Every structure is written in C-alpha cells, then in structure tokens.
C-alpha cells in the first residue's frame, strides 16, 4: 500500500494556474479613488434597475429561476435569437470557464491571443488543457497567427472582439475568415463583452455566426454597458447541442434573483444604453486625443472600440508604465498595469465620467511636466 499523503494535494494543472487579478479598487492612505481599472460603466445602471431592486427586496427568500426563462426571452427578443439557444451564467465568465470542461481532454490545447483576456488561459488550465498564445499584430488579433497556432489537439479558440486589454477589433470579414480556417470540430468562442459600445447590433457578426454555424458560441455580459458588474449576469448563444452541454453542467441557480430582476430592467432601458454608448465614444475620443498630445513624452493611445484605452508608455524612467501606475495610484487614480498580459509597457485606462477623465488628463499633464 502506498504511504497516505499528509495533506490533500491539488491537481498539478490546478496548482499551475496564475489566479485572476481584478482591477484595484482602493488607494493607499484613504485617498478618494477614481476607479478606472475594471472597465465598468462609470454612469452606473439604468435608474430602472434600482427601482426594480427595491421592489424585489421582499422576495429574496425564494430561489431564482435557474433557467433564467424570462431573461432569455428578453435577450432573444432584443437580438432576434431563439431563447432556447441562449444560456445565462454567473457573468459571461462562468460560461467561458465551462466550455473547456466540456470540450477539452487532458493535454488538449486552447488558443487565445497573446495580449488577451486573462480568463481564457485560466479556463483552459482548469480543464487540464494547455493554453497557446497567438502573437498579435499592432495590438490586434491576427487571424493568420491564430490559425498558425492551432494544432491537431486544439479544441477551442477564444476571440474577444473588441479585445481586452487592447480595445482593438477585427472586422466581420476577418471573423468569417477565422471561422472558415478552423476545423469543424474546433469551437470558436467569440466574446462580445464590449459589443454594445459599437452602434451596430452585431458589430462583428458573431451572433449571426453563432446562429448558423455548428461550432460557434458568442458570449455577452451585463457587466459592461448595462452597468451590472456587481450582480454577475452574462449569457451565451450557440448551436443547440453546445447550449445543451452548458445547461448540463452549469450551476443549478447561476444568477441570484436580484441579478435576474436587474438584468430584465436594464435590457428594457435601451435609451440608457444608447446614452452611455454616446458618452463613452465622446470621452474615449477626448482621452485618446489627450494621450496623443503627450506623444513627445513617449505616451501613445492604441485606437479603441471599447470603454477603455490602452496607453503605451516609455520603457524606462518616471513615465514607464509601472512608475506611472504607482504615481497615478498615489493620486487616487486607479488604472490597470498589464505585465501579465504581455504588456509591461502598457496601462489600460477605463473611460470614466467627464470629471474623472479630466482629473486623469490633468494628472498625466502634471506627471509629464515633472518627468
Ligand atoms: C473580454 C471580456 N470577457 C468577459 C468579461 C467578463 O465579464 P463578466 O462580468 O460577464 O464575467 C470581461 C470582463 O472584464 C472581459 O473583459
């Protein structure tokens, strides 16, 4: 008989995971905070949400509808999708994390872009799969590079479009070319977390592709433009067999009842969504222009389609990304430094309110002047 272990031992592929690091939400020494580190909606959710949540406060003793029937009906109506081909999750994160558990065997591979969302490699490793990073071109997903990274044992390709943390996007034709270049047994997961920041209802065609193709899933979230990050509501649509597998293994009650109530209210207020989209486009342009004007200090803004801007910084000195990150934090302005995403010289700045962005721009001017 082998010696019993002295303590429970985690699976080695779990112990190898580098845990997700959320955006900072506190500054040192009680300095009041401007949080531009998590790509949230700085205007918050539609006012309808608070109203419906107040009314719901007396109903929290009941379990929620684990199938999110009403919410799926509303999502289907808005996007022209069959509710039966939608699954809701504890944020889109839950769904992104479940897919490798369904489709990957131990040692299989999952492809994502190098400067991509940190959840994809975590999701792959949770399933015992191996994440493979495809190099980007000019901070943008490169279809040829993704296709060249795919191997015989690849089961899933993740594409965030627009991408986090770069904010760049590939057009519909490139998404179609990527899909056409993949074997039919590879699942293409198109993460549209930031799609509502574009005016078109399906900006890269992912929803349409998830309706027609047998190997495409599109995911969306209520955490970004809908302003419900704290309530954890996301969804996916795709082929019926994929949705059936997700339903088989998802949590029985993935969304707490306040999340369901809030998401139903939020999706009903498309005027709010449109206003937030316009405010974001205006402020994002202002932020990008202000960063561009500091080009003589080595700062530059990568063109963004989302609610954040990737700012590239000089490699050394007081304006290097790590130093700037710390100097902004000391002023209570929290942005995201990105060494884990292969961008040690980059800071991701979420677009805030007009006032917040003004304070960030003032701080950048002061820090550049002092450098
Ligand atoms: C590309 C991308 N996908 C998914 C998510 C997660 O969204 P959720 O809050 O729905 O889990 C994020 C959040 O930052 C994201 O940037």
Q: What is the pLDDT of residue 28?
A: 73
Q: How many CB atoms lie within 10 A of CB 274?
A: 13
Distances, alpha carbon 314 to alpha carbons 168, 337, 357, in Å: 21, 13, 21
Pocket of ligand 1 (CB under 6 A): 39, 91-93, 117, 160, 164, 191, 193, 221, 223, 229, 234
Residue that the structure tokens 């974001």 belong to: 280
At residue 322, the 3 state secondary structure works out as: helix
Gap between the Cα atoms of 229 and 299, Å rounded = 30
Helix (H) or strand (E) holding 109: strand 109-113
Whether omega before 92 lies within 30 degrees of 0, making that bond cis, reads no
Convert the pLDDT of each residue in 240-298 to its tens digit. Answer: 999 999 999 999 999 999 999 999 999 999 999 999 999 999 999 999 999 999 999 99
* Parallel, antiparallel or unpaired: strands 154-160 and 109-113: parallel
Query: What is the sign, positive or negative, of the torsion defined by CA atoms of 80, 83, 86, 90?
Result: positive
Gap between the Cα atoms of 148 and 264, Å rounded = 42
Q: State both tokens at 343.
A: 């961008």
Q: What is the pLDDT of residue 24?
A: 76
Residue that the structure tokens 């955490």 belong to: 223
Gap between the Cα atoms of 77 and 154, Å rounded = 34
* Parallel, antiparallel or unpaired: strands 154-160 and 187-191: parallel
- Distance from Cα 92 to the centre of ligand 1, integer Å: 6
Opening angle at CA 238, ends 233 and 240, nearest 5: 115
Gap between the Cα atoms of 249 and 102, Å rounded = 8
Query: What is the sign, positive or negative, of the torsion defined by CA atoms of 325, 336, 26, 351?
Result: positive
Please name the residue whose Cα sits nearest to atom 4 of ligand 1.
193
Q: What is the pLDDT of residue 198?
A: 98
Q: State both tokens at 266.
A: 């939020």
Q: What is the pLDDT of residue 47?
A: 98
CB-based contacts of 359, cutoff 8 Å, min separation 6: 34, 333
CB-based contacts of 30, cutoff 8 Å, min separation 6: none
CA proximity to 120, closest of 95, 149, 85, 139: 95
Q: By CB neighbour count within 10 A (0-12 exposed, 13-18 middle, 19+ buried), where does 34 fall?
A: buried
Gap between the Cα atoms of 294 and 40, Å rounded = 25
Please name the residue whose Cα sits nearest to atom 6 of ligand 1.
93
Q: What is the pLDDT of residue 29?
A: 74
Q: What is the pLDDT of residue 184?
A: 98
Whether omega before 162 lies within 30 degrees of 0, making that bond cis, reads yes
Query: What is the sign, positive or negative, of the torsion defined by CA atoms of 355, 233, 93, 88?
Result: negative
Gap between the Cα atoms of 298 and 301, Å rounded = 10
- Report which ligand 1 atom has the smallest distance to the Cα of 90: 11
Do 240 and 211 meet the contact criterion of CB atoms below 8 Å apart? no
Q: What is the pLDDT of residue 22?
A: 80
Gap between the Cα atoms of 90 and 137, Å rounded = 32
Do 153 and 107 meet the contact criterion of CB atoms below 8 Å apart? yes
Q: Where are the alpha helices (DSSP H) in the chain?
A: 12-15, 47-56, 69-79, 91-103, 119-126, 143-149, 172-181, 206-212, 240-249, 257-268, 270-292, 321-330, 354-370
- Report which ligand 1 atom has the smallest distance to the Cα of 96: 4
Tens of pLDDT, residue by residue, the chain (371 residues): 677 789 999 999 999 998 888 877 777 777 779 999 999 999 999 999 999 999 999 999 999 999 999 999 999 999 999 999 999 999 999 999 999 999 999 999 999 999 999 999 999 999 999 999 999 999 999 999 999 999 999 999 999 999 999 999 999 999 999 999 999 999 999 999 999 999 999 999 999 999 999 999 999 999 999 999 999 999 999 999 999 999 999 999 999 999 999 999 999 999 999 999 999 999 999 999 999 999 999 999 999 999 999 999 999 999 999 999 999 999 999 999 999 999 999 999 999 999 999 999 999 999 999 99
- Distance from Cα 281 to the centre of ligand 1, integer Å: 20
- Distance from Cα 54 to the centre of ligand 1, integer Å: 26
Gap between the Cα atoms of 72 and 115, Å rounded = 32
Residue of 117, 190, 230, 340 with the most ligand 1 atoms within 8 Å of its CB, for mutation: 117
> What domains are there in the chain, each with its CATH number?
12-44+271-370 (3.90.1150.10), 48-269 (3.40.640.10)
CA proximity to 18, closest of 134, 166, 121: 121
Q: Where are the alpha helices (DSSP H) in 127-234?
A: 143-149, 172-181, 206-212
Q: What is the pLDDT of residue 275?
A: 98
- Report which ligand 1 atom has the smallest distance to the Cα of 165: 16
Residue of 41, 45, 92 with the most ligand 1 atoms within 8 Å of its CB, for mutation: 92
């Amino acid at each position: 008989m082998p010696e019993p272990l002295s303590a429970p031992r985690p699976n080695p592929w779990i112990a190898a995971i580098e845990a997700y690091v959320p955006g900072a939400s506190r500054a040192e020494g009680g300095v009041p905070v401007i949080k531009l580190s998590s790509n949230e909606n700085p205007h918050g959710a539609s006012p309808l949400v608070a109203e419906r949540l107040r009314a719901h406060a007396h109903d929290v003793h009941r379990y929620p509808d684990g199938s999110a029937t009403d919410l799926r009906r509303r999502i289907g109506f808005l996007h022209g999708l069959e509710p039966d081909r939608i699954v809701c999750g504890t944020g889109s994160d839950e769904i992104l994390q479940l897919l490798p558990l369904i489709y990957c065997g131990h040692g299989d591979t999952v492809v994502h872009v190098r400067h991509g969302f940190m959840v994809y490699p975590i999701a792959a490793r949770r399933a015992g799969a191996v994440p493979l990073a495809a190099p980007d071109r000019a901070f943008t997903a490169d279809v040829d590079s993704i296709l060249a990274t795919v191997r015989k044992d690849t089961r899933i390709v993740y594409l965030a479009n627009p991408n986090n943390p770069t904010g760049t996007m590939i057009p519909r034709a490139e998404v179609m070319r990527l899909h056409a270049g993949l074997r039919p047994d590879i699942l293409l997961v198109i993460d549209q977390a930031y799609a509502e920041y574009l005016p078109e209802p399906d900006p890269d065609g992912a929803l349409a592709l998830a309706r027609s193709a047998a190997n495409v899933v599109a995911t969306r979230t209520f955490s970004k433009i809908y302003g419900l990050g704290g309530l954890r509501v996301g969804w996916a649509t795709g082929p019926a067999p994929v949705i059936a597998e997700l339903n088989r293994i998802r949590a029985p009650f993935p969304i707490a009842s306040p999340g369901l109530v809030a998401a139903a209210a939020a999706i009903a207020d498309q005027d709010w969504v449109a206003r937030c989209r316009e405010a974001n486009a205006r402020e994002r342009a202002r932020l990008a222009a202000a960063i561009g004007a500091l080009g003589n200090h080595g700062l530059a803004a990568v063109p963004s389609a989302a609610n954040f801007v990737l700012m590239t910084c000089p490699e050394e000195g007081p304006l290097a990304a790590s130093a700037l990150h710390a100097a902004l934090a000391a002023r209570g302005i929290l942005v995201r430094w990105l060494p884990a995403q292969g961008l040690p010289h980059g800071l991701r700045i979420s677009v805030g309110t007009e006032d917040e962005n003004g304070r960030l721009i003032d701080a950048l001017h002061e820090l550049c002047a002092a450098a």
